């Protein structure tokens, strides 16, 4: 794994170490502890969203909403400008005795384009920020990880973490009474 | 499958009754296995009803093919439309289908915002229904064109004529509203599917299935950071879809409200169309959910609680619709406008279609009042029948609005009448076939209940029990 | 669990996404260029005729005025195509027995019309009137291009509605003095177009008609 | 409507609370069988007959198909490609001529218009004349000389004919018979006389199925000689019609009569000084004239005679026992001596005519409002007798050769003559005709006749003016004219009809300047100085009044309102023209009054078997308000078997019941109900105005008391109604005014529009579905009592609203406003959402549900107007104010650098209207005719309260009832 080789002095063989838990609560606990220990590059894997977990592993800012807001504004303006341009600039027609720029009639279009652009941005933005699609990922190398999408909860401390050390980290994870601690092949 | 799955799958699938949204004894594993089991079971283990149902639906699809071919060969004249009734079944069906679609978005978006936990086991299913209903609806505006091969002229694109759509026309609003609605519904539905696709990927037996689900899952691995963004995005989608779903049927109602035709030209249309849409949508969800939960023994996931809640929503929206009818009639009388008044006299007893109006009142207002009684809400067959009746009623509502109003407008000399032809019926039934086909395929091929959200439900239950204990 | 996909699949996925987006755009672009190209518009494509009539020869070399053959251009919607008679008025003397002109003589003998392929063919729901354009100071070459350079005739403009409308909106860019209308070498916009254009528009009472019924009825 | 408006009824059954009423409320439109794309549809055939130039393409931006230009080899002098030419000619109906101007594009006649110089037209035409151009191109016309049904040649026919003639020649021509219709052509008459001179024993028979038999007889009875009567409605203040439909197409000179009559009405309404002429009509079968009547006396056709007698009686010696109607009538007449007219109907027995002549003389109308001239036709005789004689001779075997110049006696001879049976006894039978019809089928020889647009000839108008018939196109199917046949008989087979006609007139005008004279005559379409001079007839001999009480059910025979006597049945435009009285298309029906219908227990759509004089015919019933009780009306022109693809086997033949004794009506008919549910195709289902007032009318006095009656407060819309600023229309501002005081509801405008705008024909099945395509419809409303309602006609074209509701909802801007305020409909942009039609409160838009336009039948392309696109399937269409004419006029004025003059642009409907009810023009010109009319207080817009700001507005109708009768 490239990330691994970037920092020399770290254990080169593994992507990280992974602890498996039975329930969300212990995982949450473990995450907090790990952070207190000073670990930064870690991630938790769960079959469903767990409240507070992201914060626990030190995930702060969420860019999605900002993106969507901007997109919405752009979409809306675009929609209105399109209507205005079509009927005032591109080919002006006298329609039903209405003025060329009969803006009230453009409101529905404006709104719909706003929603369309915003929604597309929300999803595409989310996937992009998550770096998806990413069909290969080291964590999949862990056999038990198959149940990450069913009923098991995982915490993975990555070898890129400055504080990462194969033995100590393993020891640290062991003491959190996980079902087990596994190496994650890069 | 691994051994621990084996024992965990045989949790008794009992209906926990009206106050629980999930059967007893479920943990993360069992919900996962039960729902994914529906998809992953061997082909021949599919309940026979599915095969029969699909066969019938497929025949209808072929009927549609024939009808559409004939339509394109000969022209829209093969339908019963004429002057003055230039819009017939096509538009009725369009509005009807769009309406049905609305329940899906409502359940997944609005109920999500309202934190209604009972939405979880039906939202995926309802969203799929939305998609397929919108697909059916989307066909009609194109089919009903005199020159369908020029439908693309309704889109703004630079062309050799330097001509553009006319943005004051409600039909253009329709183009934007419906296409937006379709797109948003798809991405909303797919976003919801991603984590479950990952589950399917990890549980699927044979390699191809794994690969297929694998590709679709985009490599989802349930990372906490991903979940965080995911939930934010999902919430935003919900937040945007809520006004969207309301706007869409409002825009559809503008097709009529903007026109000057007595019986169409009514300001109350937008809210009352939206209510009607949700009304018919829930009716359709029930119509589909009740048999499916039976065939696949999902009584412990789609419980009486769900059925009852949906019945209540139906009752509520039904009452709004009733108010709509009342207001329509009252305003017609109160406005004192000669034409407006006559439109309703015509609708109710003068015209040739007076009976459709009364059947519609019966279906949409009278019969659903039974749902006031808890006993009726508790009886699956009763709810099922009422749902069917409401579907019919809502179709008739659109018929009364579209056709009856057109038969007699301002100048008596040009009053006319409308008789649907066999091709009108074929097209209508055909789209029902399309809808059911897609529905059956979806139920068989994708998790029809949101697995990860069910896990959350399990989680919350566990937490609350925990809280009870101490 | 074992990896379902190789490492490469990640980059592959991104490549595919990029590819899809690019091809999408590419297809659109191709469609537009094709539609604007001479394959569909027929611009600059010389049309084969039963007789290889050369405007270059007749106009440039012989200096024959447009109206000698297209007689009704000033009076009728249709500019008019010369009857065989007109051809024979000269070709009974010169090139009297050139094999190339046999069809003309044949038609004159048999009384059976010559058949020409339309070069400037508007859709049949478009009603164009030559006389009014000519009378309002729109010259032949404005639409038909440098006919005097054409051994075989081809059209130099798409005749798309968009093209018509462009001039109907700004006639001042294309109007010329009436006495120059039949001057095949006169080019619009003229060097002093910005000066004469508005003046002539006023003088000839040219309206910029963009109503649909101006051309469609 | 106004408070004192009469009672309304929505359907016949409603008044008569019968069982049918139930059915009726449930479905107001009876007998409409829901069908899917009717395989039996007549439209298949119709695509043969219908409309429209197959050029205008449908979709845009496609690669153009290769198109050829084919120049002339030698170009005609006067001819400029792309510009239409107009020629004066004339058309004959039942022998009587009307002058026409015919528009010709690249040598093909496309549009019929009236000849303003011609006394019987003054620029107007009727629906039949408008449609005659379609007959010219009818692919069903006979196309070759046939002998015993096999293709033969003109040459061999000449040989056969000459042989027959020579055979007869040995006996002074005995056994040689000629049968024609009424002949007014001086040339033809002269030719026939020449022939008869050479063959004294030969005989010339005449029979016109719907000719003026009793008019002629009446004149003879009254004056001893067949005077021709001409009425001067422009001078009449009081008109009494004794079952005379002088505004309807069946009476010669009707176009002129309509014009004179409506000129007076319009003048009265516009200056509001003298009241409009008062019209009384006594009739049994509702007619167009009856619709205009201030007072209609509904009586059985056979009772008119008695009515007339009592009127005459009352005029001589007023008595208190005569009915109040008659008394009021008599008073009114005597109050207007010399300014009154009593018209006897063509279809009334000679006695009625005698009485009418007598009254007119008594009142001193003769020479003032009623003038007499020599008969228009050559050698007037009793045609029924003439035909009877022929049949008798055929029976007795005296007839060896029968040459029929036109006509179709096998179909339309009175049934009691058994014409066909006797015809078979004739050795040599030859028939000249446009169609190889029922008669041709039984003739050894059939010769295709040249259509009048292909032929040289002449004919006299109702006032005797000789009119030239000149061809606009060479015979499409090598048709021959009667002149050529007569030439053949006089050994000049190679003499062209042109020479024949020209030479005849040379004899009439032997001066030096003949060529000039001839050119002028051709240009004007009529020959100067041939109009008959007035004659002063002798005193009327009193009629031998044989007023026998009519008993039993009466049956009345009439030419069909749209296809007349049946000679033009194969014309799809006429077939699809809604009949003014009941808006029915594609059929004839048995008309019966509501009361009688109830009495005999029949209803609209029942098929009955009528028995009369031992003959039986089946026909569907139509209940017609205003029809006389105890009376049935049947119309000719249907039940054809060899008319052509369009007219074959539709309707029933009324000729099959007609007898020489009962040529127009007879009593003693009976009928039995056979079945019900006959599907009619009508274009208007609701008969009344439903408490609305699209049609507004008042009496002349009411108008004086309340000049604003047509614009009540509640209809008033102030400009502030809308927040949007109004568009100013600087250059031009087109508008139309339709005067309901003048309109008689004749439907000529509908067909003129169809011809001008390439409007397709859709066929009975489609009309029954409500898909008829007429851009300009004429609405017909009933008010008042069921038995004798007031009838109102209202032409409804596109209103070209300034706030056009249709435009707002079109998603592709296929219908938008022009800078001159035209509501443009751009066919090639239309995608066919039909939303515009839904949003049009006037429902004037028409939609091509199928490919209605005929893209296959080459021969019909000729009839089309190259200046108007042919609409393809799936597009909307509607009235364009004849924008092609507007553009042409504008371009011409621009080229000549002069402003457009008022009246320079004339729409097709305006041009054709005999009543001049329609006026089109520029509203920005305060002095234009239309602006002046719109300033009238009678001016109102249809549904103005919707703030649609229609550019087409109406002038409310003014009536002038007799106060005496109003009281009663």
User: What pLDDT, in 10s, does the model give residues B325-336?
Assistant: 999 999 989 988
CB of D571 closer than 8 Å to CB of D134: yes
Which contiguous run of DSSP H or E holds residue D794?
Answer: strand D790-796
Mean pLDDT in residue range D174-187 = 92
Angle in degrees, CA D913, D918, D921, rounded to 5: 125
User: CA A117 from chain center: how many Å?
Assistant: 20
C126-140, D40-54, D148-162: range with lowest mean pLDDT: D40-54
pLDDT in tens, C61-120: 888 999 999 999 999 999 988 999 899 988 988 888 888 899 999 999 988 888 899 899
Place of tokens 């069913």: A150
Nearest to D809 by CA among B264, B77, C161, A45: B264
Tell me which of C1, C3, C4 to substitute to probe the interface with B (most B C-beta atoms closer than 10 Å): C4
Query: Per-residue pLDDT for D42 more than 50?
Result: no
Mean pLDDT in residue range D604-630 = 93
The pair phi, psi for residue A181, each rounded to 5°, is: -120, 130
The pair phi, psi for residue B172, each rounded to 5°, is: -70, -40
What letter does residue D267 receive in the DSSP assignment? H
CB of B369 closer than 8 Å to CB of B312: no
Question: Chain D contact for B160, CB < 8 A?
Answer: yes
Q: Give pLDDT, residue D548.
A: 62
Question: Chain A contact for C162, CB < 8 A?
Answer: no
Q: Give pLDDT, residue B39.
A: 87
What DSSP letter does each residue of A100-115 carry, written as one string?
TT-GGGGHHHHHHHHH
Residue D538: other Cβ atoms inside 10 A: 12
Are the beta carbons of D56 and C213 separated by less than 8 Å?
A: no
CB of D816 closer than 8 Å to CB of C214: no
pLDDT category of residue A62 using cuts at 50, 70 and 90: confident
Nearest to B91 by CA among B404, B415, B438, B422: B404
List of chains touching D (3+ CB pairs within 8 A): A, B, C
Give the residue from chain D lying closest to B265, CA to CA. D839
Of chain B, the percentage scoring pLDDT greater than 70 comes to: 95
Mean pLDDT in residue range D18-44 = 36
Compute the distance between CA of residue D289 and CA of residue D280 in angstroms, rounded to an integer: 9
Nearest to B298 by CA among B54, B35, B116: B35
Compute the distance between CA of residue D519 and CA of residue D514 in angstroms, rounded to an integer: 8
pLDDT category of residue D549 using cuts at 50, 70 and 90: low
Closest CA of chain C from D602, distance in Å: 48
Query: Per-residue pLDDT for D43 more than 90?
Result: no
Q: Among the residues of D183-278, which ranges form H helices?
A: 186-198, 213-223, 254-271
Question: Chain D contact for C120, CB < 8 A?
Answer: no
User: ipTM beyond 0.85?
Assistant: yes
Q: Ramachandran region of residue B280, left (φ > 0), alpha (ψ -120 to 50) or beta?
A: alpha
Mean pLDDT in residue range C142-146 = 92
Residues of C with CB under 8 A from a CB of B: 1, 4-5, 10, 13, 35, 158, 160-162, 165
pLDDT in tens, A30-56: 999 999 988 888 899 999 999 889 888
Compute the distance between CA of residue D207 and CA of residue D182 in angstroms, rounded to an integer: 7
Mean pLDDT in residue range D654-676 = 92
What is this structure's pTM? Answer: 0.91
Query: Per-residue pLDDT for C200 more than 90?
Result: yes
Are the beta carbons of C212 and D829 separated by less than 8 Å?
A: yes
Question: Chain C contact for D807, CB < 8 A?
Answer: no
Residues 6+ apart with CB under 8 A from D925: D902, D931
Of chain D, the percentage scoring pLDDT greater than 70 comes to: 92
A160-169, B380-389, D260-269, D715-724: range with lowest mean pLDDT: D715-724
pLDDT in tens, B22-48: 877 788 888 888 888 888 888 888 888
Angle in degrees, CA D866, D869, D871, rounded to 5: 135
Tokens matching residue B191:
């976003």
pLDDT category of residue D884 using cuts at 50, 70 and 90: very high
Which residues in chain A have Cβ-Cβ distances shorter than 8 Å to D805?
96
Mean pLDDT in residue range D221-241 = 93
Tokens matching residue D270:
């516009």
Q: Give pLDDT, residue B468.
A: 61
User: Which among A134, A136, A141 is the nearest to C6, CB-wise?
Assistant: A136
Give the residue from chain D lying closest to B173, CA to CA. D811
Nearest to A93 by CA among D284, B151, D961, C214: C214
Q: Give pLDDT, residue D21.
A: 37
Are the beta carbons of B147 and D875 separated by less than 8 Å?
A: yes
What letter does residue D565 receive in the DSSP assignment? T
Of chain B, the percentage scoring pLDDT greater than 90 comes to: 64
CB of D231 closer than 8 Å to CB of D257: yes
Query: Per-residue pLDDT for D18 more than 80?
Result: no
pLDDT category of residue B21 using cuts at 50, 70 and 90: confident
Question: Chain C contact for A134, CB < 8 A?
Answer: yes
pLDDT category of residue D50 using cuts at 50, 70 and 90: very low
Query: Per-residue pLDDT for D34 more than 50?
Result: no
CB of B298 closer than 8 Å to CB of B292: yes
Q: Give pLDDT, residue A12.
A: 56
Q: Give pLDDT, residue A117.
A: 96
List of chains touching A (3+ CB pairs within 8 A): B, C, D
Question: Chain C contact for D726, CB < 8 A?
Answer: no
Nearest to D188 by CA among D505, D531, D446, D533: D505
pLDDT in tens, D242-266: 999 999 988 999 999 999 999 999 9
Compute the distance between CA of residue B83 and CA of residue B62 in angstroms, rounded to an integer: 30
pLDDT in tens, B216-253: 999 999 999 999 999 999 999 999 999 999 999 999 99
Mean pLDDT in residue range B151-167 = 91
Closest CA of chain C from D772, distance in Å: 21
Compute the distance between CA of residue D546 and CA of residue D352 in angstroms, rounded to an integer: 11
What letter does residue D26 receive in the DSSP assignment? H
Nearest to D385 by CA among D570, D213, D603: D213
pLDDT category of residue C39 using cuts at 50, 70 and 90: confident
Nearest to A136 by CA among A65, A184, A64, A77: A184
Q: Ramachandran region of residue B297, left (φ > 0), alpha (ψ -120 to 50) or beta?
A: left
Q: Which of residues 27-56 of A touch B (CB under 8 A)?
A: 31, 43-50, 53-54, 56
Which residues in chain C have Cβ-Cβ distances shorter than 8 Å to A142?
1
Residue B466 class from Cβ within 10 Å (0-12 exposed, 13-18 middle, 19+ buried)? exposed
- When the pLDDT of each residue in chain B is averaged and rounded to a whole number, the result is 89
Q: Give pLDDT, residue B9.
A: 45
Q: Give pLDDT, residue B105.
A: 85
Q: Which of residues 44-73 of B touch D (CB under 8 A)?
A: none
Are the beta carbons of D843 and B342 separated by less than 8 Å?
A: no
pLDDT category of residue D967 using cuts at 50, 70 and 90: low
B18-32, B406-420, C93-107, C153-167: range with lowest mean pLDDT: B18-32
Compute the distance between CA of residue D222 and CA of residue D662 in angstroms, rounded to an integer: 21
User: Which among B176, B202, B225 is the nearest to A113, CB-wise?
Assistant: B176
Residues making up chain C, counted from first to last? 217
Give the residue from chain A lying closest to B180, CA to CA. A116
Q: Ramachandran region of residue D106, left (φ > 0), alpha (ψ -120 to 50) or beta?
A: left
Compute the distance between CA of residue D476 and CA of residue B384 in angstroms, rounded to an integer: 72
pLDDT in tens, D439-497: 999 999 999 999 999 999 999 999 999 999 999 988 999 899 999 999 998 888 888 99
Tokens matching residue B383:
């709810």
pLDDT in tens, D232-241: 999 999 999 9
Q: For strand D370-373 and strand D228-231, is the pairing parallel, antiparallel, or unpaired?
A: antiparallel
Question: Chain D contact for A135, CB < 8 A?
Answer: no
Which residues in chain D have Cβ-Cβ distances shorter than 8 Å to B342?
690
Mean pLDDT in residue range D217-241 = 93
Q: For strand D401-405 and strand D428-433, is the pairing parallel, antiparallel, or unpaired?
A: parallel
Compute the distance between CA of residue C174 and CA of residue C177 in angstroms, rounded to an integer: 10
Residues 6+ apart with CB under 8 A from D695: D689, D740, D779, D781, D792, D794, D957
Q: Give pLDDT, residue B204.
A: 87
Give the residue from chain A lying closest to B225, CA to CA. A54
Are the beta carbons of C2 and A140 separated by less than 8 Å?
A: yes
Which residues in chain A have Cβ-Cβ distances shorter than 8 Å to B218?
127, 132-135
User: Which among C4, C35, C161 is the nearest to B162, CB-wise?
Assistant: C161
Place of tokens 């055939």: D45
Question: Chain D contact for C112, CB < 8 A?
Answer: yes
Query: Per-residue pLDDT for B470 more than 80?
Result: no
C39-43, D166-170, D266-270, D350-354: range with lowest mean pLDDT: C39-43
CA atoms within 13 A on the CB side of D173: 17
Closest CA of chain A from D883, distance in Å: 17
Q: Give pLDDT, residue D271.
A: 84
Compute the distance between CA of residue D135 and CA of residue D93 in angstroms, rounded to an integer: 14
Which residues in chain D have Cβ-Cβ distances shorter than 8 Å to A91?
813
Which residues in chain C have Cβ-Cβ distances shorter than 8 Å to A136?
3, 5-10
Q: Give pLDDT, residue C144.
A: 93
Which segments of chain C are extended strands (E)? 116-117
Query: Per-residue pLDDT for B173 more than 90?
Result: yes
Compute the distance between CA of residue D208 and CA of residue D220 in angstroms, rounded to an integer: 18
User: Which among C2, C4, C165 is the nearest to A135, CB-wise?
Assistant: C4
pLDDT in tens, A66-114: 999 999 999 999 999 999 999 999 999 999 989 999 999 999 999 999 9
Query: Per-residue pLDDT for D26 more than 50?
Result: no
Q: What is the 3-state secondary structure (H, E, C) of D101-155?
A: EEEEECCEEEEEEECCCCCCCCCCCCHHHHHHHHHHCCCCCCCCCEECCEECCHH
Tokens matching residue D89:
């000619």
Compute the distance between CA of residue B461 and CA of residue B465 in angstroms, rounded to an integer: 6
The pair phi, psi for residue C90, each rounded to 5°, is: -95, -45
CB of D741 closer than 8 Å to CB of D276: yes
Q: Which of residues 75-134 of A touch B (CB under 8 A)?
A: 79, 82-83, 86-87, 90-91, 93, 95-96, 98, 102, 105-106, 108-109, 111-113, 115-116, 118-120, 122-123, 125-127, 129-130, 132-134
List of chains touching C (3+ CB pairs within 8 A): A, B, D
Question: Chain D contact for A123, CB < 8 A?
Answer: no
What letter does residue C57 receive in the DSSP assignment? I
Nearest to D820 by CA among D845, D841, D802, D804: D802
Closest CA of chain C from B184, distance in Å: 19
pLDDT category of residue B464 using cuts at 50, 70 and 90: confident
Residue D621 forms beta bridges with which residues? D590
- When the pLDDT of each residue in chain D is averaged and rounded to a whole number, the result is 88
Which segments of B79-235 are extended strands (E)? none
Nearest to B185 by CA among B118, B136, B115: B136
Residues of B with CB under 8 A from a CB of C: 159-163, 201-202, 210-211, 214, 218-219
Question: Is the peptide bond between A133 and the residue preceding it cis, with omega within 30 degrees of 0?
Answer: yes
Residue D918 forms beta bridges with which residues? D738
Question: Distances in Å between the alpha carbon of A156 and those of A21, A134, A183, D339, D467?
Answer: 11, 18, 9, 116, 110
Question: Chain D contact for B78, CB < 8 A?
Answer: yes
Compute the distance between CA of residue D157 and CA of residue D163 in angstroms, rounded to an integer: 10
pLDDT category of residue D106 using cuts at 50, 70 and 90: confident
């Amino acid at each position: 794994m490239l990330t691994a080789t970037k920092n020399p002095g770290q254990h080169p063989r593994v992507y990280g170490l992974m602890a498996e838990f039975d329930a969300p609560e212990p995982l949450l606990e473990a995450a907090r502890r790990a952070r207190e220990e000073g670990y930064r590059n870690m991630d938790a894997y769960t079959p469903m969203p767990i409240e507070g977990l992201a914060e626990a592993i030190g995930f702060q800012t969420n860019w999605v909403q900002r993106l969507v807001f901007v997109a919405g504004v752009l979409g809306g303006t675009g929609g209105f400008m399109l209507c205005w341009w079509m009927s005032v600039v591109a080919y002006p027609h006298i329609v039903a005795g209405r003025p060329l720029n009969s803006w009230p009639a453009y409101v529905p279009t404006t709104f719909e384009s706003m929603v369309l652009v915003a929604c597309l941005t929300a999803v595409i933005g989310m996937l992009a920020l998550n770096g998806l699609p990413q069909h290969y990922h080291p964590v999949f190398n862990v056999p038990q990880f198959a149940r990450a999408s069913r009923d098991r909860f995982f915490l993975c401390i990555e070898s890129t973490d400055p504080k990462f050390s194969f033995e100590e980290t393993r020891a640290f994870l062991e003491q959190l009474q996980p079902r087990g601690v596994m190496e994650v092949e890069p | 499958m691994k051994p621990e799955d084996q024992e965990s799958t045989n949790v008794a699938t009992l209906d926990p009754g009206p106050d629980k949204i999930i059967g007893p004894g479920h943990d993360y594993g069992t919900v996962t296995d039960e729902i994914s089991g529906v998809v992953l079971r061997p082909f021949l283990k599919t309940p026979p009803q599915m095969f029969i149902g699909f066969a019938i639906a497929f025949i209808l699809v072929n009927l549609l093919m024939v009808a559409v071919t004939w339509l394109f060969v000969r022209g829209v004249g093969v339908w019963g439309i004429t002057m003055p009734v230039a819009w017939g079944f096509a538009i009725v069906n369009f509005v009807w289908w769009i309406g049905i679609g609305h329940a899906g978005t409502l359940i997944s978006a609005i109920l999500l915002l309202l934190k209604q936990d009972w939405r979880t086991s039906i939202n995926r299913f309802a969203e799929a229904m939305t998609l397929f209903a919108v697909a059916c609806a989307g066909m009609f505006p194109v089919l009903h064109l005199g020159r369908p091969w020029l439908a693309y002229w309704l889109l703004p694109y630079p062309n050799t004529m330097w001509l553009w759509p006319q943005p004051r026309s409600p039909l253009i609003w329709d183009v934007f509203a419906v296409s937006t609605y379709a797109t948003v519904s798809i991405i909303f539905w797919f976003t919801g599917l991603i984590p479950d696709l990952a589950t399917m990927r990890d549980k699927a037996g044979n390699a191809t299935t794994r690969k297929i689900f694998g590709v679709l899952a985009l490599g989802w691995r349930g990372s906490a950071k991903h979940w965080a963004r995911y939930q934010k995005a999902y919430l935003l989608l919900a937040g945007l879809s809520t006004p969207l779903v309301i706007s869409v049927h409002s825009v559809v109602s503008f097709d009529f409200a903007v026109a000057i035709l007595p019986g169409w030209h009514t300001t109350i249309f937008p809210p009352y169309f939206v209510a009607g849409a949700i009304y018919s949508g829930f009716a359709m969800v029930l119509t589909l959910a009740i048999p499916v939960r039976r065939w696949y023994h999902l009584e412990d996931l789609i419980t009486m609680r769900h059925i009852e809640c949906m019945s209540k929503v139906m009752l509520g929206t039904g009452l709004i619709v009733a108010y709509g009818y009342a207001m329509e009639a009252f305003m017609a009388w109160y406005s004192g406008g000669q034409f407006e008044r006559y439109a309703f006299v015509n609708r109710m007893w003068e015209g040739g279609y007076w009976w459709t109006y009364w059947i519609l009142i019966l279906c949409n207002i009278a019969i659903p009042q039974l749902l006031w009684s808890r006993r009726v809400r508790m009886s699956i067959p009763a709810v099922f029948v009422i749902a069917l009746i409401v579907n019919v009623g809502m179709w008739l509502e659109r018929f009364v609005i579209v056709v009856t109003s057109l038969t007699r407008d301002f100048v008596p000399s040009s009053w006319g009448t409308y008789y649907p032809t066999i091709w009108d019926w074929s097209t209508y039934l055909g789209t029902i076939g399309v809808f059911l086909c897609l529905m059956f395929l979806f139920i068989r091929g994708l998790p029809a209940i949101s697995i990860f959200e069910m896990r959350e439900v399990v989680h919350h239950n566990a937490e609350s029990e925990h809280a009870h204990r101490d | 669990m074992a990896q379902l996909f190789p490492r490469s699949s990640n980059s592959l996925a991104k490549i595919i996404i990029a590819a899809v987006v690019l091809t999408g755009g590419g297809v659109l672009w191709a469609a537009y260029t094709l539609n604007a190209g001479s394959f569909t518009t027929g611009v600059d494509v010389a049309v084969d005729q039963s007789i290889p009539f050369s405007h270059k020869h007749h106009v440039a070399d012989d200096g024959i005025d447009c109206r000698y053959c297209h007689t009704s251009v000033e009076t009728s919607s249709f500019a008019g195509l010369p009857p065989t008679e007109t051809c024979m008025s000269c070709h009974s003397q010169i090139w009297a027995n050139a094999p190339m002109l046999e069809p003309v003589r044949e038609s004159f003998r048999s009384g059976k019309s010559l058949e020409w392929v339309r070069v400037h063919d508007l859709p049949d729901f478009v009603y164009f009137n030559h006389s009014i354009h000519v009378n309002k100071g729109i010259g032949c070459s404005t639409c038909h291009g440098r006919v005097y350079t054409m051994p075989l005739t081809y059209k130099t403009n798409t005749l798309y509605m968009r093209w018509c409308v462009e001039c109907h909106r700004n006639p001042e860019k294309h109007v010329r003095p009436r006495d120059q209308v039949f001057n095949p070498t006169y080019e619009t916009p003229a060097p002093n177009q910005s000066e004469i254009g508005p003046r002539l528009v006023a003088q000839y009472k040219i309206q910029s008609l963009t109503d649909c019924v101006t051309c469609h009825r | 409507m106004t408070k004192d408006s009469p009672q309304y009824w929505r359907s016949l059954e409603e008044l008569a609370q019968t069982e049918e009423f139930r059915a009726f409320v449930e479905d107001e439109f009876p007998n409409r069988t829901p069908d899917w794309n009717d395989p039996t549809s007549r439209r298949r055939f119709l695509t043969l007959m219908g409309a429209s130039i197959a050029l205008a393409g449908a979709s845009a931006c496609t690669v153009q198909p290769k198109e050829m230009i084919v120049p002339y080899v030698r170009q005609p002098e006067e001819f400029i490609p792309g510009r239409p030419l107009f020629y004066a000619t004339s058309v004959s109906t039942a022998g009587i001529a009307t002058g026409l101007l015919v528009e010709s594009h690249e040598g093909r006649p496309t549009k019929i218009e009236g000849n303003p110089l011609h006394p019987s037209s003054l620029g107007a035409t009727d629906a039949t004349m408008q449609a005659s151009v379609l007959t010219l191109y009818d692919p069903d016309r006979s196309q070759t000389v046939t002998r015993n049904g096999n293709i033969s040649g003109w040459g061999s026919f000449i040989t056969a004919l000459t042989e027959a003639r020579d055979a007869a020649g040995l006996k002074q021509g005995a056994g040689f018979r000629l049968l024609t219709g009424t002949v007014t052509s001086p040339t033809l008459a002269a030719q026939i006389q020449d022939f008869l001179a050479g063959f004294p024993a030969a005989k010339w028979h005449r029979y016109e199925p719907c000719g003026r038999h009793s008019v002629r007889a009446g004149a003879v009875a009254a004056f001893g000689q067949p005077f021709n009567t001409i009425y001067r409605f422009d001078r009449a203040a009081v008109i009494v019609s004794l079952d005379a439909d002088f505004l309807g197409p069946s009476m010669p000179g009707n176009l002129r009569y309509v014009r004179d009559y409506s000129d007076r009405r319009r003048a009265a309404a516009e200056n509001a000084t003298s009241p409009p002429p008062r019209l009384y009509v006594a009739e049994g079968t509702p007619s167009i004239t009856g619709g205009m009547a201030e007072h209609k006396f509904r009586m059985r056709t056979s009772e008119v005679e008695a009515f007339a007698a009592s009127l005459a009686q009352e005029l001589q010696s007023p008595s208190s026992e005569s009915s109040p109607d008659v008394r009021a009538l008599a008073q009114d007449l005597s109050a207007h001596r010399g300014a009154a007219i009593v018209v006897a109907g063509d279809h009334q027995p000679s006695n009625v005519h005698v009485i009418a002549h007598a009254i007119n003389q008594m009142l001193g109308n003769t020479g003032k409002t009623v003038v007499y001239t020599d008969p228009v036709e050559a050698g007037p005789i009793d045609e029924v007798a003439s035909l009877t004689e022929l049949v008798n001779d055929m029976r007795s075997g005296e007839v060896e050769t029968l040459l029929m110049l036109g006509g179709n006696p096998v179909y339309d001879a009175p049934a009691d003559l058994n014409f066909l049976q006797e015809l078979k006894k004739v050795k040599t039978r030859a028939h000249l005709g446009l169609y190889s019809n029922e008669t041709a089928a039984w003739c050894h020889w059939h010769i295709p006749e040249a259509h009048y647009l292909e032929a040289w000839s002449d004919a006299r108008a109702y006032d005797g003016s000789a009119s030239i018939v000149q061809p606009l196109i060479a015979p499409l199917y090598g048709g021959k004219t009667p002149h050529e046949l007569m030439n053949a008989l006089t050994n000049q087979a190679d003499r062209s009809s042109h020479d024949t006609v020209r030479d005849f007139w040379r004899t009439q005008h032997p001066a030096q300047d003949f060529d000039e004279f001839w050119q002028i005559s051709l240009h004007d379409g009529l020959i100067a100085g041939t109009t008959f001079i007035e004659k002063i007839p002798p005193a009327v001999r009193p009629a031998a009044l044989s007023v026998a009480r009519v008993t039993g059910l009466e049956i009345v025979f009439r030419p069909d309102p749209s296809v007349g006597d049946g000679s033009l049945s194969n014309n799809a435009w006429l077939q699809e023209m809604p009949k003014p009285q009941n808006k029915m298309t594609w059929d004839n029906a048995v008309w019966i009054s509501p009361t009688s219908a109830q009495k005999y227990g029949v209803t609209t759509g029942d098929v009955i078997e009528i028995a009369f004089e031992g003959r039986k015919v089946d026909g569907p019933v139509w209940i017609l308000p205003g029809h006389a009780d105890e009376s049935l009306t049947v119309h000719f022109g249907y039940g054809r078997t060899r008319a052509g693809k369009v007219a074959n086997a539709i309707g029933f033949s009324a000729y099959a019941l007609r007898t020489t004794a009962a040529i127009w009506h007879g009593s003693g008919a009976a009928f039995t109900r056979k079945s019900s549910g006959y599907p009619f195709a009508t274009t208007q289902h609701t008969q009344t105005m439903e408490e609305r007032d699209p049609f507004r009318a008042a009496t002349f006095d009411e108008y004086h008391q309340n000049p604003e009656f047509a614009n009540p407060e509640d209809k008033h819309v102030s400009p502030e109604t809308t927040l949007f600023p109004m568009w100013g229309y600087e250059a031009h501002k087109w508008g139309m005014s339709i005067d309901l005081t003048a309109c008689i509801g004749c439907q000529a405008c509908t067909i003129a529009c169809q011809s001008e705008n390439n409007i397709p024909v859709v066929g009975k099945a489609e009309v029954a579905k409500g898909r008829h395509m007429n851009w300009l419809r004429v609405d017909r409303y009933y008010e008042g009592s069921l038995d004798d309602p007031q009838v109102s006609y209202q032409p409804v074209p596109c209103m070209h609203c300034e706030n056009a509701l249709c435009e707002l909802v079109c998603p592709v801007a296929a219908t938008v406003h022009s800078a001159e305020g035209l509501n443009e409909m751009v066919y090639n942009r239309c995608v066919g959402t039909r939303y515009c039609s839904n949003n049009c409160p006037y429902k004037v838009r028409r939609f091509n549900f199928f490919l209605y336009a005929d893209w296959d039948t080459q021969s019909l392309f000729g009839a089309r107007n190259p200046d108007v696109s042919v609409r393809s399937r799936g597009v909307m269409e509607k009235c364009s104010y004849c924008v092609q004419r507007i553009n042409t006029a504008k371009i011409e004025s621009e080229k000549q650098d002069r402003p457009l003059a008022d009246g320079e642009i004339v729409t097709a409907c305006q041009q054709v209207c005999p009543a001049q009810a329609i006026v089109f023009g520029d509203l920005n010109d305060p002095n234009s005719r239309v602006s002046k009319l719109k300033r009238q207080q009678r001016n109102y817009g249809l549904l103005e309260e919707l703030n649609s700001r229609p550019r087409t507005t109406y002038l409310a109708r003014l009536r002038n009832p007799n106060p005496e009768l109003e009281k009663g």
